[in-house]
Amino acid sequence: MTKSEKRVAWVTGGGSGIGEAGAEALAAEGWTVVVSGRRKDTLDTVVSNITKAGGLAAAIPLDVSDAADVETVAGEIVARHGRIDLLVNSAGINVAKRRWDDMELDGWNKLVEINLNGVLYCMRAVLPAMRRQKDGIIINVSSWAGRHVSKMPGPAYTTTKHAVLALTHSFNMDECVNGLRACCLMPGEVATPILKLRPVVPSEEEQAKMLQSEDLGRTIAFIASLPPRVCVNEILISPTWNRGFIQTPANRD
């Protein structure tokens, strides 16, 4: 599609962090953006910022762990706009109790429900529209932890993010014949609000050296701008000052 044609993007986790930055970058490129997340107030702020900048956006609250709710929202987007060209699965969480010696099953289940099941629910929900179009892109925001195992993110987060990588490749194996493609975006440390849930919160100086949300926003917009013949299967991206390579007390905890 060209920039002059209507392109509709659905961004989950669109109220903050990578999702917010992705929505803003896509809107700046002419996409009509629908942002979803659990907090309507943050979604409304994102929509307001986009429209003030001249973009087109709307908010639909959503808990991605609710499969029926996901189907309803996808149907509403198609009813409003007639199509869904891009899904950005950016909704994701972690918990403070993330080590084997303090992890709780409720925390594990919550991560699986949002970080993995929620991704699948949204992918499945957009498939009918994308198959009809014979065109569509899905960007699944995983993590550096989806490729490399380390102690700091914890077993639940690491497991779900690895699973998203496998899910993305599985999608491409089946749906490439329908003109669909998916990218697993695996960023290293990004200075987003989720860092506040870490047992040791990185300092402002450390966060300034991390990837910033806008870096991932630009990456999402780049993937989305490529022609239908191009499938970027995965992107592994990190800060130059990668704390996984530079051992510090914080990332050993």
What amino acid is encoded at 60 in this protein?
A: I
For the chain, the first-to-last Cα distance in angstroms comes to: 47
Category of 85 on φ-ψ map: left (φ > 0), alpha (ψ -120 to 50) or beta: alpha
Closest CA to 162 of 194, 123, 116: 116
Residue 253, pLDDT > 50, answer no
User: Per CATH, which fold does 8-252 belong to?
Assistant: Rossmann fold (3.40.50)
Is the full-model pTM beyond 0.85?
yes
Tokens 């702020």 label which residue?
45
**Residue 110 pLDDT:** 97
Q: Quote the percentage of the chain above a pLDDT of 70.
A: 96
Question: 171 CB contacts (<8 Å, ≥6 apart)?
Answer: 123, 138, 180, 182
Stretch 183-190: mean pLDDT, rounded?
97
pLDDT in tens, 99-117: 999 999 999 999 999 999 9
Stretch 143-165: mean pLDDT, rounded?
96
Give per-residue burial for 113-124: e unless 16+ CB within 10 Å, then b: bbbbbbbbbbbe
The catalytically annotated residue of 108, 144, 157, 171 is 157
pLDDT level of residue 250 (50, 70, 90 thresholds): low
Stretch 216-229: mean pLDDT, rounded?
98
Determine phi and psi for 197, rounding to 5 degrees: -90, -5
What amino acid is encoded at 71 in this protein?
A: E
**Residue 197 pLDDT:** 73
Q: Which long-range contacts (CB under 8 A, 24 or more apart) does 65-73 make?
A: 65/113, 65/114, 65/117, 65/118, 65/121, 66/121, 67/117, 67/121, 70/118, 70/121, 70/122, 70/125, 71/121, 71/125, 73/10, 73/36, 73/125
Residue 97, pLDDT > 60, answer yes
- Please name the helix (run of DSSP H) or strand (run of DSSP E) that holds residue 126, with its range, or none: helix 118-133
Residue 249, pLDDT > 70, answer no
**Residue 245 pLDDT:** 87
**Residue 66 pLDDT:** 98
Residue 251, pLDDT > 60, answer no
pLDDT level of residue 149 (50, 70, 90 thresholds): very high
Residue 248, pLDDT > 70, answer no
pLDDT level of residue 226 (50, 70, 90 thresholds): very high
**Residue 193 pLDDT:** 80
pLDDT in tens, 32-84: 999 999 999 999 999 999 999 999 999 999 999 999 999 999 999 999 999 99
Q: Which long-range contacts (CB under 8 A, 24 or more apart) does 233-236 make?
A: 233/168, 233/169, 233/172, 233/182, 233/183, 233/184, 234/165, 234/168, 234/169, 234/183, 234/184, 234/185, 234/186, 235/183, 235/184, 235/185, 235/186, 236/144, 236/147, 236/186
Return the SS3 of 243.
Answer: coil
Stretch 219-236: mean pLDDT, rounded?
98
Known active-site residue 157: yes
Distances (CA, A) of 246 to 37, 148, 203, 213: 34, 15, 15, 22
Give Cα 220 to chain centroid, integer Å: 9
Residue 233, pLDDT > 70, answer yes
Residue 26, pLDDT > 80, answer yes
